[in-house]
Chains A and B, each alone.
Chain A
Amino acid sequence: MDLEFDARYDEFRAQVRDFLDKHRPTPFGGLASGKREDRVAWLSLLIEHGYWARTIPKEFGGYGAAPDLLETVIMDEEFNRAGVPRGMNAQGPAMLVPTLLNHGSDEQRRRWIGPTMRGEIIWCQGYSEPGSGSDLASLQTSASEDGDDFLINGQKIWTSTADVAQMCFLLVRTEPDAKKHEGISYILLPMDTPGIDVQPLQTMAGSIGENSFNQVFFSDVRVPRSNVVGHRGEGWKIANTTLKHERNSLNANAEGTLMRLARLMTEETINGVPAMASPIYRDRLMALQARAFSMKHHGMRMLTCSLKGEPPGVAGLIVKLQNCQLNFDMAALALDVMGELGALYDHSKYERERGYWQAHSIFSLGLIIGGGTAQIQKNIIAERGLGLPREPKPQKA
């Protein structure tokens, strides 16, 4: 263990603070509601200073620094303290970019990573289908060869941000005769290709938050075969690295949420007394803080594993399960602290933080389901992490 913050790190922290004092993002809102120029300007500025895409090589549009655990910790701490998002929480940077770094061709990396990190290109993840959610490998959307192209037919569902995305990373069945896990390819598809029909679905979040959930229909959608990432038929393996990144990125920022919750508890009063003065609420906050700290330091441990190229084992498999529930529980405390006013929504008078905590509660629940449900996570932990036997196959009737 070497966590000494020597003078170099003090200097780095001072730089980050100085940056945050000087620059605040023009609020660019979410992917759908926000202004593209504001988003791109802010993310480009972050990359220029090395606070985003920090370790991505320069030739692929990153800042090109060597990975450093303590720098990451310092950046996160300072951005959290300032209440400023460090980058963009979206599927492109969180999932596609790490996948391309691992499996993409140089041409694909050069073409897609920079614009994705700068927020110029928004991606959606085309994995789930109506009949294939937890059992993702049973997916049916097909890609059949047609000269140098594939022709895609089928349907995806629960596709977040498909209605605002320019690109989709898509799983399709290219080898219909292969075994279920071996016939899938991972392919990059422009969303303006003819034959794609995006149908929005309303979510339970109602009027608040980035409310973009869709069905996507494909009929004879033509895509060059060179858009496949990795090799044909390897899509399942590649998708699993993507999912791993999704699971590690989901709600990684428990500490920021916790700070926001602590702020709420000092401001909100009940019978004239700040919520923070209540031993009950304070105790719950401290219990959540202990969980948030443990997940933060666990994150440092996981980052170290990945820097050293060591497999994190079962310790890595629990991250998504624990973080998603932690986020749900933080929202639950916030809602309790706000009491009868915590339910206010839809721009109601007296609504706190524009309904942030109701939205956080609902979105955390969504993330307990999305990216592999809690139950699937537990199966993976038990089977891949602890070596327990797989559930028996169903008996044929």
Chain B
Amino acid sequence: MDFGLSEDQLLLEQTVRSFLADQVPIERVRELRDADCPNDRAIWTALAELGITGILVPEAQGGSALSLLDAALVSQALGHAATPAPFLSSAVMASVALREAGGSDAEAWLGGIASGEQVFGVAVTELFSVREEAGVRLDAGKLGGKVMMAIDAHGADFVLVVVDAETLAIVKTDAPGVGIERLPTVDATRCTAEVVLDGVTPEAVLQDAGRAIERMLQAGRIALAADALGACESMVEQAVAYAQVRRQFDRVIGSFQAVKHMCSEMIAEVEPTRSLLWYAAHSFDTLPDETPLLACHVLSHVSEIARDIASVATQVHGGIGWTDEQNLHFWFKRIATARHLLGGPEILRDQAARLQGYAPAA
């Protein structure tokens, strides 16, 4: 019995965190927010050299075939550093979907993902939320329709499109009939887009992909939870550090019980959630029957604590926390956007109840 991270996992976490601290400090993130696409390819290439882009890709396709827990640690590090990168879409969701779908049509793409040369966005929103009459049809081999808030699609080479609950399609972003428009959000570190498809011939169509789609969504939710939790950790660290140096009334503000309590309440939420995250991620590879429920709960729970932490950590900073210059808002906004990217808490909890037969059949 051992509930914790392995030596290798600690090393991986350490490696990625120090790489990001060194190569993508918040000043670099600040530069990237003004770019047309913040997902900078140079960062991605450097992450490929660390084996991160192919972290979930089988060795046969050049990946490092690690577990989702390993990927979650990387995701957490990216959230902690507020790094813009197509990790969630390419290295987690597309990798899992293509791997699980299996067969040469699917696996052919994994090599490019692992090497970092081909970046995938994912268009999955309509699986859980349909707005603006979005949706995709496949008619006589041609794709039509539109997808909202496709993750990392802007700036990607391909988009993995969910056509329906059983069908995936791979679309080249510069193919005729494909229109990709960035939909900017408050979060300048994530690249979301509308994907419009008008008589598009996909590169591949993967049928009978129901399980691959479900596993992709589970992995995505766990990785996104890890990202938002990493962002929370960073905000708590910044708040604690500030409380140790800022003085008012002739003392450091961290000596006020009110400030101590804000900080301790935040960490009291973070720590058990980290445990839940580890278990959810671990289940994905070893106890897959448990994952559907855990994936819903870990993301909905992270989303709830993250909203409070984003507000409270800012409050600990007082006025300076509200400025652009203090940088805290990069995490605040990453958290705000993550909350609904793969289903908000209400959607996730509803699904959690249904999975357990607690909800009357619709």
By a beta-carbon cutoff of 8 Å, the part of chain A in contact with chain B is 128, 131-135, 138, 157-158, 201-204, 206, 213, 269-272, 278, 280-281, 328, 332, 335-336, 339-350, 358, 361, 365-366, 368-370, 373-375, 378-379, 391, 393-394
Q: How far is the CA of A366 from the CA of B324 in the complex (A)?
A: 12
- Structural contact, B148 and A350, CB atoms closer than 8 A: yes
B202 to chain A, nearest CB (A): 24
The residue from B307, B323, B336 contacting A201, defined by CB atoms under 8 A apart: B323
A332, B346: Cα distance in complex, Å: 13
Given the complex of chains A and B, what is the CA–CA distance between A206 and B189 in angstroms?
A: 14
Task: Please tell me if the beta carbons of A328 and B251 are within 8 angstroms of each other in the complex.
Answer: no
Q: Which of B217-253 contact A (CB under 8 A)?
A: 247-251, 253
CB-based contact B324/A349 at 8 Å:
no
Q: With contacts A135-B248, A345-B185, A394-B251 known, is A366 near B322, CB below 8 A? A: yes
Contact with A along B322-340 (1 / 0, CB 8 A): 1111001100110011011
Is there a chain A Cβ closer than 8 Å to B149's Cβ?
Answer: yes
Select B184's contact among A128, A345, A368, beta carbons within 8 Å. Answer: A345
Given A157-B319, A272-B130, A339:B340 Cβ within 8 A: yes
Do B185 and A339 touch (CB < 8 A)? no
* B337 with A365: CB separation less than 8 A: no
Which 5 residue pairs of A and B lie closest in terms of their CB atoms, listed nearest first?
A: A202-B324, A204-B329, A343-B185, A343-B337, A375-B258
Which of A133, A343, A361, A365 has the most chain B CB atoms closer than 10 A to its own CB? A343
Question: Are the CB atoms of B183 and A369 closer together than 8 Å?
Answer: no
Please state if A369 and B315 are interface contacts (CB–CB under 8 Å). Answer: yes
Which chain B residues border A343 with CB–CB below 8 Å? 185-187, 192, 336-337, 339-340
Q: A158–B323 Cα gap in the complex (Å)?
A: 9
Cβ-defined partner of A349 (8 Å) among B194, B307, B337, B344: B194
Q: Does B15 contact A (CB under 8 A)?
A: no
Known: A348-B184, A365-B311, A365-B314. A158 touches B319 (CB 8 A): yes
Is B23 positioned at the interface, with any CB of A under 8 Å from its CB?
A: no
Contact A134 B249 (CB under 8 A): yes
When C-beta atoms are compared, the residue in chain A nearest to B249 turns out to be: A135
What is the chain A residue whose CB lies nearest that of B251?
A394
Cβ of A375 and Cβ of B194 under 8 Å apart?
no
CA distance in complex: A128, B323 (Å): 15
- A-B residue pairs in contact (CB < 8 Å), sample of 23: A132-B248, A133-B318, A134-B249, A134-B253, A201-B324, A204-B322, A204-B324, A270-B131, A271-B130, A332-B307, A336-B340, A340-B129, A340-B148, A341-B148, A343-B337, A344-B185, A350-B194, A365-B314, A368-B315, A369-B315, A373-B315, A375-B262, A375-B315
> Please, how many angstroms separate the alpha-carbon atoms of A41 and B194 in the complex?
43
Contact A345 B186 (CB under 8 A): yes
Residues of A within 8 A of B311 (CB): 328, 365, 368
Contact of B8 with A by CB under 8 A:
no
A349 near B321 with CB under 8 A, answer no
- CB-nearest residue of chain A relative to B131? A341
Q: 15 more A-B contacts (CB under 8 A) besides A269-B131, A332-B307, A370-B322?
A: A128-B319, A133-B318, A134-B253, A134-B318, A157-B319, A158-B319, A204-B321, A204-B328, A328-B311, A339-B344, A341-B132, A345-B184, A358-B186, A375-B256, A391-B256
Within the assembled complex, what's the spacing in Å between the Cα atoms of A204 and B344?
Answer: 24
Nearest-CB residue, chain A, relative to B259: A375
Contact partners of A366 in chain B: CB under 8 A: 322
Q: Are B184 and A346 neighbours in the complex by a CB distance under 8 Å?
A: yes
Interface residue range, chain B: 35 or more
Q: Which one of A328, A341, A370, A375 contacts B149 once the chains associate, using CB atoms below 8 Å?
A: A341
* A384-B341 Cα distance, complex, nearest whole Å: 45
Query: Which residues of B are found within 8 Å of A206, using beta-carbon distances?
Result: 186, 324
Within 8 A of A (CB), among B288-337: 307, 311, 314-315, 318-319, 321-325, 328-329, 332-333, 336-337
Contacts of B258 in A (CB 8 A): 375, 378-379
For residue B255, CB closer than 8 A to chain A, the reply is yes
Bound complex: CA A336 to CA B340 (Å): 8
User: Interface centre among B250, B259, B340, by most A CB within 10 Å?
Assistant: B340
- Contact, CB under 8 Å: A344 / B183: yes
Q: How far is the CB of A160 from the nearest CB of chain B, in Å?
A: 10
* CB atoms of B149 and A340 under 8 A apart: yes
Query: Given B185, B315, B345, which contacts A348 in the complex, CB threshold below 8 Å?
Result: B185
Partner of B318, one of A272, A342, A373, A393: A373
Q: Chain A residues with Cβ under 8 A from B129's Cβ?
A: 270-271, 339-340
Partner of A340, one of B247, B319, B322, B341: B341
Please tell me if the beta carbons of B323 and A350 are within 8 angstroms of each other in the complex. Answer: no
Least CB separation from A338: chain B residue: B340
Cβ-based interface call for B181 (8 A) = yes
Is B125 close to A, CB under 8 A? yes
A328 to B324, CA, bound (A): 20
- Quick one: closest A residue to B187, CB to CB? A343
Q: Which residues of A contact B339 (CB under 8 A)?
A: 335-336, 343
- With both chains docked as a complex, state the minimum distance between the C-beta of A158 and any C-beta of chain B, in angstroms: 4
- Return the chain B residue nearest A393 by Cβ: B250
Bound-state CA distance A374–B256 (Å) is 14
For the complex, what is the distance from the CA of A372 to the CA of B68, rounded to whole Å?
A: 45
Q: How far is the CB of B69 from chain A (nearest CB, A)?
A: 27
* Distance A348 CA – B336 CA, assembled complex (angstroms): 16
B323 CB contact (under 8 Å) in A204, A342, A374: A204
Q: Which residue on A lies nearest to B133, using beta carbons?
A: A272
Report how far A272 CA is from B135 CA in the complex, Å.
Answer: 12
Please give, as numbers and ranges, the residues of chain B lying within 8 Å of A328 by CB-CB distance: 311
CA of A206 to CA of B181, assembled, Å: 21
Is B183 within 8 A of A348, CB to CB? yes
A270, A374, A375, A393 interface centre (most CB from chain B within 10 Å): A375
B131 x A204 contact (CB < 8 A): no
Q: What chain B residues lie within 8 Å of A394 (beta carbons)? A: 249-251, 255
Give the residues in chain A near B253, CB-CB below 8 Å: 134
**A149 to B319 Cα, complex, angstroms:** 32
- A48, chain B: closest CB distance, angstroms: 38
Q: CB distance A342 to B184 under 8 Å?
A: no
Most buried by A among B149, B262, B311, B333: B311
The smallest C-beta distance from A269 to any residue of chain B, in angstroms, reads 7
